[in-house]
Amino acid sequence: MKFLRLFFFVIFAFSSAQKGFEISNPKKTVIPFKLINNLVFIPVNINGVDLTFLLDSGVNETILFSLDNKEVNFNEIEKIKFSGLGESVHIEGLKSENNIVNIGKDYKDFEHTIFIILDESINFSSHVGIPVNGIMGYQFFKNHRIEINFTSKKITVFNEDKKFNQRQKTFTEFPITIEGNKPYMIAEVEMNNEKVSSKMLLDLGNSDAVWLFPKLIDNFEYNRPNIDDYLGRGFNGDIFGKRSRIHCLYLGKFSFEQPLTAMPDEYSIQNLKLVPNRKGSIGSDILRRFTVIFDYPDQRIFLKKNRNYQDPFSFNSSGLDIQQVGMLWEKDLVRIETKKNMAYSGESENRKLPENFQYNFVLKPRFSVAGCRKDSPCFVAGIRKNDELLTINKRPIGDLTMEKINNYFKEEDGKKINIKVQRDGQILNFTLTLQDPIPYQNAN
């Protein structure tokens, strides 16, 4: 998926003196989350209204950009301007202080500051497949040790040293630095055959594996093959750059071979104030392979392999970028079975009556093509932007989630995908053959 890539590297010129989140439970609290396309979405209640936020270690403050037709009464509002990545420099918004925010049963902040984006185009719900209202960053992590279990899809917030010390014994500890309220660690980046120590942002809000900033790396040369690609959307516009694979990424004793790597162009980072010596980011396609404990107070991170550790770094080889474009009532035929006691020779037994059917109307998602990379399998097959998807491999599109759709496009090279679309009232059928455009090749 080509979204959320650099959406969350936002620079705020504000500081906050709020106390932050506190736990009412003396030991720990557990918060369930949804994991979609490597990203963590948590339930957040603001001033009594239930919302959904992306949890992102790569942002400073709490950002709201959509209310999804809900009404929230915000406190102490003032107008502001802030900046992020893209072509423009500033975006107008609002700052609201002293809001009551609850996450789960026991994690609460009674003086929470929220930054509200007024630009309605800043909304990635259509690329996730669920309503997303905002982003939660540093404030979630700053006071407590936070464990993210990507397999059980639960977050544990520790409030007791004894409980935490018992838990972290089976993990590997690494030092981190908290700079600009964001976590950084040193990783070894091996483009081809030489390891280079690199300062990297630990970015939960980036669904990729690795980002590198070519202009900030001495003698940087792009690995081949590479492709020009749309990398995502920032607060100030679309982000473009290249995609390729590097030979290896090392986090201490942990290593990852041929991870997918995105490299934004110089125009995308021209308005970004980077911390000294930063070379890139480690995204959630790396972090999801561990159970992770963030310890901001003591500037540490703890990692423990999970069952995802050996997963391949699969690329969306179709070239398709899919978005949800609303919901549609569909008529499903449902079989209803009934049973009735009937007597035979003095005995009673259950016997099925003839099967009955009825129509059931169900609200299902609609998806369309947001983009089709030039010269990719989808482009060669004839699929184009704004085509509305009807079926994939004969499965009705309304029966699929965004996650399942994207999984079709990450299968092995040579796999044929049959797609039926509607374009200007016409029904069209296409067959595309998956082909990874950026397989890793050793340098000569």
Question: Of 128 and 168, which is predicted with more confidence?
Answer: 168
Alpha carbons 419 and 318: distance in angstroms, whole number = 11
Q: Is the pLDDT of residue 16 over 50?
A: no
> Which region among 45-59, 266-280, 412-426 has the lowest average model confidence (pLDDT)?
266-280
One-letter amino acid of 188: E
Predicted local distance difference test score (pLDDT) of residue 135: 93
Per-range mean pLDDT, top range of 88-92, 220-224, 237-241 = 220-224
* Torsion angle, alpha carbons of 327, 32, 143, 170, to 10: -130
Q: Are residues 126 and 68 in the same domain?
A: yes
Q: Are residues 122 and 195 in the same domain?
A: no
- Could you tell me if residue 263 is inside a domain? yes
Task: Note whether 87 and 111 are within 8 A (CB).
Answer: no
Domain that holds residue 325: 320-332+360-433
Alpha carbons 112 and 110: distance in angstroms, whole number = 6
Domain boundary among 162, 190, 220: 162
Percent of the chain with pLDDT over 90: 56
Task: Note whether 172 and 302 are within 8 A (CB).
Answer: yes
Q: Are residues 158 and 30 in the same domain?
A: yes
Interior/surface letters 103-137, b for 16+ CB within 10 angstroms, e for the rest: bbebbbbeebbbbbbeeeebbbbbbbbebbbbbbb
Q: Which two tokens stand for residue 15?
A: 């500081």
Alpha carbons 35 and 77: distance in angstroms, whole number = 32
> Which region among 9-18, 46-55, 257-266, 369-378 has the lowest average model confidence (pLDDT)?
9-18
Q: Are residues 280 and 207 in the same domain?
A: yes
Alpha carbons 155 and 292: distance in angstroms, whole number = 10
Find the DSSP H helices in 212-313. Answer: 284-287
**Cis omega before residue 225 (within 30°)?**
yes
Bridge partners (DSSP) listed for residue 423: 426
Q: Is the pLDDT of residue 87 over 70?
A: no
Domain boundary among 162, 186, 214: 162
Domain total for the chain?
Answer: 3
- Could you tell me if residue 17 is inside a domain? no
Short-list 287, 256, 306, CA closest to 146: 287
Q: pTM for this one?
A: 0.85
Per-range mean pLDDT, top range of 85-94, 383-392, 435-444 = 383-392
Predicted local distance difference test score (pLDDT) of residue 15: 43
Predicted local distance difference test score (pLDDT) of residue 441: 80
- Could you tell me if residue 264 is inside a domain? yes
Alpha carbons 386 and 269: distance in angstroms, whole number = 29
One-letter amino acid of 342: M
Q: Which two tokens stand for residue 56?
A: 């992102």
Domain boundary among 141, 162, 183: 162
- Could you tell me if residue 231 is inside a domain? yes
Q: Compute the half-sphere exposure of residue 99: CA atoms within 13 Å on the CB side of its CA.
A: 26
pLDDT band at residue 121 under the 50/70/90 scheme: low
Domain containing 404 — which CATH number? 2.30.42.10
Instruction: Classify residue 299 as left (phi > 0), alpha (psi -120 to 50) or beta.
Output: left
Q: Is the pLDDT of residue 374 over 50?
A: yes
Q: Compute how many other C-beta atoms are within 10 angstroms of the C-beta atom of residue 393.
A: 11
Q: Are residues 33 and 133 in the same domain?
A: yes
Alpha carbons 358 and 76: distance in angstroms, whole number = 53
pLDDT tens-digit readout, 129-147: 788 899 999 999 999 999 9
Q: Is the pLDDT of residue 437 over 50?
A: yes
Mean pLDDT value across residues 195-210: 95
- Could you tell me if residue 341 is inside a domain? no
Predicted local distance difference test score (pLDDT) of residue 331: 55
Q: Are residues 283 and 188 in the same domain?
A: yes
- Could you tell me if residue 154 is inside a domain? yes
Q: Is the pLDDT of residue 1 over 50?
A: no
Q: Are residues 142 and 182 in the same domain?
A: no
Q: Is the pLDDT of residue 126 over 60?
A: yes
Domain containing 145 — which CATH number? 2.40.70.10
Q: Is the pLDDT of residue 173 over 80?
A: yes
- Could you tell me if residue 313 is inside a domain? no
Predicted local distance difference test score (pLDDT) of residue 294: 97
Q: Is the pLDDT of residue 417 over 70?
A: yes
Mean pLDDT value across residues 37-45: 95
Q: Are residues 197 and 123 in the same domain?
A: no
Q: Are residues 149 and 121 in the same domain?
A: yes
Short-list 273, 257, 222, CA closest to 243: 222
Mean pLDDT value across residues 291-311: 97
Q: Is the pLDDT of residue 9 over 50?
A: no
Find the DSSP H helices in 216-367. Answer: 284-287
Q: Are residues 187 and 300 in the same domain?
A: yes
Q: Is the pLDDT of residue 265 over 50?
A: yes
DSSP 86: B
Beta-carbon contacts of 107 under 8 Å, excluding residues fewer than 6 positions away, are 21, 22, 23, 29, 31, 157
Q: Are residues 224 and 268 in the same domain?
A: yes
Short-list 36, 42, 26, 52, CA closest to 154: 42
Predicted local distance difference test score (pLDDT) of residue 70: 84
Predicted local distance difference test score (pLDDT) of residue 381: 95
Q: Is the pLDDT of residue 164 over 80?
A: yes
Q: Which two tokens stand for residue 112?
A: 């929470």
Short-list 75, 147, 59, 70, CA closest to 109: 75
Does an H or E element contain 174, and which?
A: strand 172-175
> Which region among 102-106, 186-190, 306-310 has the lowest average model confidence (pLDDT)?
102-106
Predicted local distance difference test score (pLDDT) of residue 107: 95
pLDDT band at residue 346 under the 50/70/90 scheme: very low
Predicted local distance difference test score (pLDDT) of residue 274: 84
User: Helix, strand, or coil here: 354?
Assistant: coil
Predicted local distance difference test score (pLDDT) of residue 12: 42
Q: Which two tokens stand for residue 285?
A: 């396609």
- Could you tell me if residue 3 is inside a domain? no
User: Helix, strand, or coil here: 293?
Assistant: strand
Q: Are residues 184 and 116 in the same domain?
A: no
Does an H or E element contain 126, and which?
A: helix 125-128
CA distances from 361 to 294, 329, 332, 402 (A): 45, 6, 6, 21
Alpha carbons 398 and 331: distance in angstroms, whole number = 11
Mean pLDDT of the chain: 84
